[in-house]
Structure formats: C-alpha cells, structure tokens
Structure 1
Amino acid sequence: MRQRPMLGALILVAATWLLSGCGNDAEAEASANAEGPRGTPVAAIEITPRDLSRTLSASGTVEPRVRIRLASRTAGTIDDVLVEVGDAVEQGQVLARMDVSEERAELERARAQADEARVNYQRTAELRERGVASPAEYQRALSEVRVADSEQSLWETRVAFGRVTAPRDTVVTARYVEPGEAVQAQETLFELSAMDALVIRLGVSELDIAHLEPGQTVPVQLDAMPDNPLEASIRRIDPAAEPGSRLVMVEIALPADAAEQGVRPGYLGRIRMAIDRRADVLAVPAAAIGEDGDKRYVYVIEDEQLHYREIEPGVTRGPWREVVSGLEPGEVVLATNPIDMQDGQAVRIVGWRG
C-alpha cells in the first residue's frame, strides 16, 4: 500500500514531460509557418556587356609569291655559270653562258646572205626605174631581202639563247648546273625567288572566310622573330574551298621590306586576329534560353521571383548566346535551363555564374 504514492508521482512527472514536449513542437511548427515556404535554389547571372568577337588563329610558312624555275631555251653545253645560291641578281643580269659556236657561224652566214639580197634588190630597183627590170623581178628581189632578214633574225635569237638572264630582280635559291654539263631545251637551270614579295598561304574555315576580304590588315608573329611583329595584309582569297578539308586558301602578303628586316622563306608565321567583331554586347549562357514555339525567353529574377521575359537572341560564341533585345545591363537572370521553371515561382540564389 505504501508504493501507490510513489507510482502516482511517476505518472505525474511523465505527463508533465509529454505536455512540455508537445508544446515545443507546436511552437517550432508555428515559427516555421510564420517564416513561409523557402524558394527553389537556383544559379543566377548578372547581365553585363561582353566581347563575343570571333578569333581566327592559324599558322603558315613564309614563301616567295614569285618563284621562277628558269629553264634553258636551247640544247647545248654550259660554258660558264656566273652566280651562286643566295646571290641577289638584277633584271637582265647574265647567270650562265652556253656554247653557241654553231649558232654564231650560222648567224654570220645569214648576215652575208642578207647583205647580198639587199645589194641585188637595190640593183633591181634601179633597173626597174630605167624600165629594164620587170615588176616580177622587182618583187622577187624584195622577197629575197625579206627572207634573208628573217633568217638573220632567227639566228640572232638562237645566239641570244646562249645567254641565260634573270627576268626580274630576284635571289638565286637553287642552282642545278655546272660548267661543262650538257643540257636539253626546257631543262631547269636555276630557281629564282622574289624576296620583295613574301607571302604566307594558309587554309581558313568556311565559317570564318566570310569575315575576311582582300586588303584587310592581318597581324603576323614569326616564331624566329618574336620581338618583331609584322603588319601584313590579305592579298588574295581563293574563289572555292578545297573539297576534302573545306578550307579556303588565303594568301597574306608580308611587307615589301620583310626580307630586309630578316624574314626568310621557311619561317613559321602565326596569325591571331578578331573577326566578326562583337564588343560590348549583352549575353547569357546559351543553356539559360528557353524555347516557346518560335519565341525565345529567359527568366529574370526580381524580389526572389522568376519573371518570364521574351528576348531576341543573336550569335553563339562557345557557352554564350548574344541577346540583341529584351534585357538591360544590371538585370539578374536565371543561369540554368528554364524548362522546369514557371513565371512567378519563388527562388533563392545560391550561386552566381559568369
């Protein structure tokens, strides 16, 4: 019977504890309801001007635009070679002489025949004036003069073939003959390069070629001359792309004094330049733009809520998409895919992009 008061006391303590616990849970629930529902966590970006210009990067080898493979104009033996590889030669300068002894003998014979034909013509002309020579005899004498002059001119030309001369100011870049060698007509004797017309030829993607045009300035950096960048220009653009690579060949002309500055054929030139310039444009991550039929939209975040905004997009550069109209600098936009979002949805920004 003495144990009952103790049992009653234990029951009273347990009831008090339960009532106290239920009171705390109710207070917590009420506090949570007072704060309201928390928004969906999202990543955002603040709209600021960006540079979305396309950059063209390419490389090519410096080479002479004019390269002449100078050939013999007649068959014969080389008597003398007057230049070495690396020599600068002027237009008309003799590079080699060939043995044309036989041609010279034929030229002397042709000259003698021409002299004889002219004397005969003069005599016939005098006789015609006195009525002794007939018109037919006069015409025949005149024809003989013309034939003789033509024969003389032929052998003068063949003798001149014995002098191999430079067709323009160039540098000898290859020599294929030595004195005493026999060569055939049209056989290559020298290679000449115009050092005042150095170029770089490179292939440009079909996506970039539309932004290039002849005369456009191009910066060129040579690996061999890192401290001396050159200002070149586009000389020519091929009319068609190569079938396999779809690259269009572009010829870039170096300055006329490039060789004087130390540039040599064979140097590697690198080109890096901005094309399709789009500086200070507004852009958003391409993934942040949604599609609604033929419309494009983003969600602007204001007061922790999403607001549907139709935009006009422009070009895409990597992960960025230009916004032509619909947004203003300083606005905050949802930076992720908007497909599961709704206009007016509560959000909270937990990360920033850009």
Structure 2
Amino acid sequence: MVRAWYLIAGFCLLLAGCSDAPSDSSNDQPGGERHTPIAAYEVTPRDLSRQLTLSATVEPRIQVNLTSRTQGVVSSIAIEESDFVEAGQTLAQFDVAEQRAELRRAEARAYEAKLEFERLQQLRESNTISIAELQRAEATYAAAAAERDLWQTRIDFGAILAPLSGIVTGRYIEVGESIEAQQALFSLANMDELVVRPGVSERDIRHLSVGDDVPVLLDGLPDQEFRGTIRRIFPIADRSSRLLRIEVLLPEEAYEQGVRPGFLGRLPLTVDPRPNALAVPAAAIGEDAEQRYIYRVVNERLERTYIEVGITRGQWTEVLSGIDEGDVVLATNPIDMRDGTAVRIVNWRG
C-alpha cells in the first residue's frame, strides 16, 4: 500500500514538471499576447472594366437584289459576277421587238387623236361644234397618249440598269432564258461600306453610343486590326435572344485591303470602363446593419472600417470610399474577427 502511494506521488510530480515546460510561442509576441495569423491584401488600383467579345459576319451595308419588272426573253447580258458597275449602266437587255411594234402603233393613234383634237379646237372657235364634242376629242387624245407612254415604259423595262455603283455579287439569268415578272436577275453591293452587325445584351448596350470607335479582328486576316465606328444602334431587341444589334462600319478602304463579305469579325470591347478602381477581395467584405465594412491592418491590429462599395467583377469588389491606395486589409471572411484583434500576416493575396 505504501509502495502504491509513492508511485502515485511520483506520477504527480512528473505531471507538474511537464506543465512547467516552455510552450510554443510562435504565435505570441513579447509580453505574452497571442497574434492571430491572417491573410492580407495591399490595396492597389485594379482594372475592373467589363471585357466583352462580340462576333458577326461582314456584310455590305447597301445590297440590292434586282428583279424583272416585265416578262420577256433575255437577249444580252453585259456583265459577270465580281464586275464593278456604275449607277445607270446597262446590265442586261430583254427582247422588246414586240413592244416596239406596239409603241409605233400607239404613237400613230396618239398622233391621229392629236390632229382630230386640234381640228375640233378650230371649229369650236367659230362655234361650229359643241363644247361636249371638243371634250370627247380631248379625252380620246389623252387616252392615246397614255397608251403610247405605257408601251414606252414597257420597252424601258426591257433594259436592266444598275441602280447604284458597286460590285455584282450575283447573276441568276442566262441569254435566251424566258423571264417572268418579279424574277430575280442580279444582286449588287456597295463594297465601300462594309459593316458587321453583332448583338449586344440589354445590360451592356447602355455603355455603347453611336460614333464610338471599336476594334474589329477578322479570322481571314489575322495579322490586321481594323478600327470600326458604331454607325447606328437598332431600336428593338430580338424577342428570342433579347439582344440589340449594333451596326459597326468598317473603314472605306477595307475591301481594298482584303476584307470580303462573309468573313467572321470579332469585336473585343471594353464597356463600363474602370481602369484604376480601388478594390478588395469580395470575400473580405462584411455587412453590419446594412453597412458594409472591412478590417484594415493598422500596427498589427484589426481596425473595422465602414466602406461604400461599387460593382463586383469576379472575386473583386470596387470600393468607392473608406480606403486608400496602400492600405493593408484582411483578405478573408471577417465574420469571426473583432475590432482590435492582434494579428500577424502569414499570407498575402492578390
């Protein structure tokens, strides 16, 4: 029994000796105060501008599809696809021999009606005929003149003229082919005005304006960058995609530099520019009674600072007021921290 008592006493002395052993003071500072390890971030200006990449196919701004205004047989074609034509130039001609014959007959009738009308005018001056007879002759002459003009118009419709200067992008007829009214003949495009018309989301369109200068990159010409101008913004969003189209006009010399309709254009845009925003990690912001706050690190202690925040881009939130460039702040969730807590920085973020 005595032996057991000595064993217990010895064990107690051993425990007491262990409790007097020096403890790990790696988290402590002189004076015995414990410093909480934290991750910190030094506030520096960041670019929080919104980056947006749009894409669309290059198109001629003005493209015209020519259709026949009369029926007939194609007698000649003066151009090929890819030819440049001037406004008013003849592209094709229909056989209008029948229309010319009808025109000559209509001209003869109109001439005859004119002579009769002039003869009755002289008789009316001498009160030989009634005014009603003169009026009937005048109406007959007017009808004959209208028929003459109609056949002249049909002959004119037989000549297919270019309505604008541009490149022939499509030819859909051949010599000898019988053509019906409203049948497609040619398509023309003005290559001096090439555009891309990408869609823009409703949240980004407000940052764009007519006249803005934008870069345009083309897959077909990867070594060149073209500067386009927003020519117009369409007024209505697409009902299915909710996108609003913009029309970006390429430089006038783009076609001469190798740009062709059908090329894919990409537009890397910067919208809502904020190139030098002060920001902190979004996770470092706390909320207290509808106020936002962060903890600044001042003399190795946390100091709660209320802030006004702006936009959030990814993991960064813009701070409009409350901090300055160069401030060191707690970079992690502040919910378990307290004002005045002693800290030591073991990791830097950013």
| TM-score normalised by L of structure 1 | 0.90
Q: 1:199 matched to which residue of 2? A: 195
In the alignment, the residues of structure 2 paired with residue 293 and residue 133 of structure 1 have an alpha-carbon distance, to the nearest angstrom, of 105
Match of 1:72 among 62, 68, 74: 68
Quickly say closer, same or farther: Cα 1:338–1:149, change in 2 above 3 A: same
Match of 2:346 among 335, 350, 354: 350
Check if 1:130 corresponds to 2:126. yes
In the alignment, the residues of structure 1 paired with residue 124 and residue 237 of structure 2 have an alpha-carbon distance, to the nearest angstrom, of 71
Match of 2:158 among 154, 158, 162: 162
In the alignment, the residues of structure 1 paired with residue 210 and residue 137 of structure 2 have an alpha-carbon distance, to the nearest angstrom, of 60
Quickly say closer, same or farther: Cα 1:43–1:29, change in 2 above 3 A: closer
Quickly say closer, same or farther: Cα 1:137–1:52, change in 2 above 3 A: same
In the alignment, the residues of structure 2 paired with residue 280 and residue 271 of structure 1 have an alpha-carbon distance, to the nearest angstrom, of 23
Match of 1:112 among 108, 113, 117: 108
In the alignment, the residues of structure 2 paired with residue 250 and residue 138 of structure 1 have an alpha-carbon distance, to the nearest angstrom, of 63
- Letter aligned with residue 273 of structure 2: R
In the alignment, the residues of structure 2 paired with residue 310 and residue 201 of structure 1 have an alpha-carbon distance, to the nearest angstrom, of 45
Q: 2:316 matched to which residue of 1? A: 320
In the alignment, the residues of structure 2 paired with residue 90 and residue 328 of structure 1 have an alpha-carbon distance, to the nearest angstrom, of 64
Deviation at 1:236, TM superposition (A): 2.0
Check if 1:261 corresponds to 2:257. yes
Q: Deviations over 1:104-158 (max 9, x none)?
A: 1111111111111111111111111122122112212221221111111111111
In the alignment, the residues of structure 2 paired with residue 122 and residue 224 of structure 1 have an alpha-carbon distance, to the nearest angstrom, of 71
- Letter aligned with residue 28 of structure 1: P
In the alignment, the residues of structure 2 paired with residue 30 and residue 238 of structure 1 have an alpha-carbon distance, to the nearest angstrom, of 70
Match of 2:247 among 243, 251, 255: 251
- Letter aligned with residue 140 of structure 1: R
Q: 2:22 matched to which residue of 1? A: 28
- Letter aligned with residue 187 of structure 1: Q
Q: Deviations over 1:235-257 (max 9, x none)?
A: 22222322332222222111222
In the alignment, the residues of structure 2 paired with residue 34 and residue 137 of structure 1 have an alpha-carbon distance, to the nearest angstrom, of 130
Q: 1:8 matched to which residue of 2? A: none
Deviation at 1:25, TM superposition (A): 6.4
Q: Deviations over 1:207-229 (max 9, x none)?
A: 21111122211111222223332
In the alignment, the residues of structure 1 paired with residue 91 and residue 336 of structure 2 have an alpha-carbon distance, to the nearest angstrom, of 81
Q: 1:42 matched to which residue of 2? A: 38
- Letter aligned with residue 178 of structure 2: A
Deviation at 1:331, TM superposition (A): 0.8
Give the % identical residues: 52
Secondary structure, in 3 states, of the residue corresponding to 1:36?
A: coil
Q: 2:211 matched to which residue of 1? A: 215
Q: 2:334 matched to which residue of 1? A: 338
Contact 2:29 2:35 in 1 (8 A): no
* Root mean square deviation, CA, Å: 2.2
Secondary structure, in 3 states, of the residue corresponding to 1:28?
A: coil
Check if 1:186 corresponds to 2:182. yes
Q: 1:9 matched to which residue of 2? A: none
Deviation at 1:29, TM superposition (A): 5.6
In the alignment, the residues of structure 1 paired with residue 260 and residue 128 of structure 2 have an alpha-carbon distance, to the nearest angstrom, of 74
Q: Deviations over 1:272-313 (max 9, x none)?
A: 121111121211011111111311110111111111110000
Check if 1:228 corresponds to 2:224. yes
In the alignment, the residues of structure 2 paired with residue 119 and residue 188 of structure 1 have an alpha-carbon distance, to the nearest angstrom, of 43
Q: 2:277 matched to which residue of 1? A: 281
In the alignment, the residues of structure 1 paired with residue 209 and residue 54 of structure 2 have an alpha-carbon distance, to the nearest angstrom, of 16
- Letter aligned with residue 285 of structure 2: I
Quickly say closer, same or farther: Cα 1:30–1:271, change in 2 above 3 A: closer
In the alignment, the residues of structure 2 paired with residue 212 and residue 231 of structure 1 have an alpha-carbon distance, to the nearest angstrom, of 15
Secondary structure, in 3 states, of the residue corresponding to 2:101?
A: helix
Check if 1:99 corresponds to 2:95. yes
Q: Deviations over 1:42-73 (max 9, x none)?
A: 11111111111111211221111222111011
Q: 2:170 matched to which residue of 1? A: 174
Pairwise mapping of residues 72-91 of structure 1 onto structure 2 (< 5 A)?
72-91=68-87
Q: 1:241 matched to which residue of 2? A: 237
Deviation at 1:206, TM superposition (A): 2.1
In the alignment, the residues of structure 2 paired with residue 227 and residue 269 of structure 1 have an alpha-carbon distance, to the nearest angstrom, of 13
Deviation at 1:27, TM superposition (A): 7.0
In the alignment, the residues of structure 2 paired with residue 351 and residue 245 of structure 1 have an alpha-carbon distance, to the nearest angstrom, of 45
Question: Post-superposition, which runs of at least 4 consecutive aligned residues in structure 1 deviate over 3 A?
Answer: 24-27, 29-35
Quickly say closer, same or farther: Cα 1:148–1:304, change in 2 above 3 A: same
- Higher gyration radius (CA): 1
- Letter aligned with residue 95 of structure 2: D
Aligned length: 337
Q: 1:121 matched to which residue of 2? A: 117
Check if 1:329 corresponds to 2:348. no
Match of 1:55 among 51, 57, 60: 51
More deviation, 52-61/178-187:
52-61
Unaligned runs of 5+ in 2: 1-9
| TM-score normalised by L of structure 2 | 0.91
